[in-house]
Chains A and B, each alone.
Chain A
Amino acid sequence: SAVISQKPSRDICQRGTSLTIQCQVDSQVTMMFWYRQQPGQSLTLIATANQGSEATYESGFVIDKFPISRPNLTFSTLTVSNMSPEDSSIYLCSPGQGSYNSPLHFGNGTRLTVT
């Protein structure tokens, strides 16, 4: 499976600020999925990022709050904007090839705490 590097691994941020999370993969992938895991909860898909097109956001997530970049097939960023304590979560990226029968592998996640 691909090697996935996610940065930062954790951060403590003040409310009202923004944090950009980077995800680097060692091979080209069709899609990049971004997930959020709120404390004690399961994973929820935020958006799907394809190169050269706007990311597709799931219900309840908007581009102004979670802008995503996908400049090439090995890299993506997720920004958490104008943060509030409710944004405290683990954020995980996962590269995908668009096939339902391939397991997704995840970066180690970014553990975000907003004070």
Chain B
Amino acid sequence: NAGVMQNPRHLVRRRGQEARLRCSPMKGHSHVYWYRQLPEEGLKFMVYLQKENIIDESGMPKERFSAEFPKEGPSILRIQQVVRGDSAAYFCASSATGNTEAFFGQGTRLTVV
């Protein structure tokens, strides 16, 4: 049973480009959570999704950021027109339900140049 898979592991984008981060949950998991982590800081909650539904996006910036978790395929975190301040590690976690143990992926390190 593979764990949570995130890809790419490292992503370099020029300012103004789009970044797409993918998260494939563990088999049987239908809940996904996304976080952003700046160096030496904690995990900042961004969005909580269930398949085809956004449960809570209160941590997501209102502009340029969006997330989806379609019926088929991975969850996608999309950042449009990236800026230097978007450079961070982005982690996703998945769980079977909203009240069960969650597991993390390895993260995607986004660098905006």
Asked whether A and B interact, the reply is no
Interface, chain A (partner B; CB < 8 A): none
Interface, chain B (partner A; CB < 8 A): none
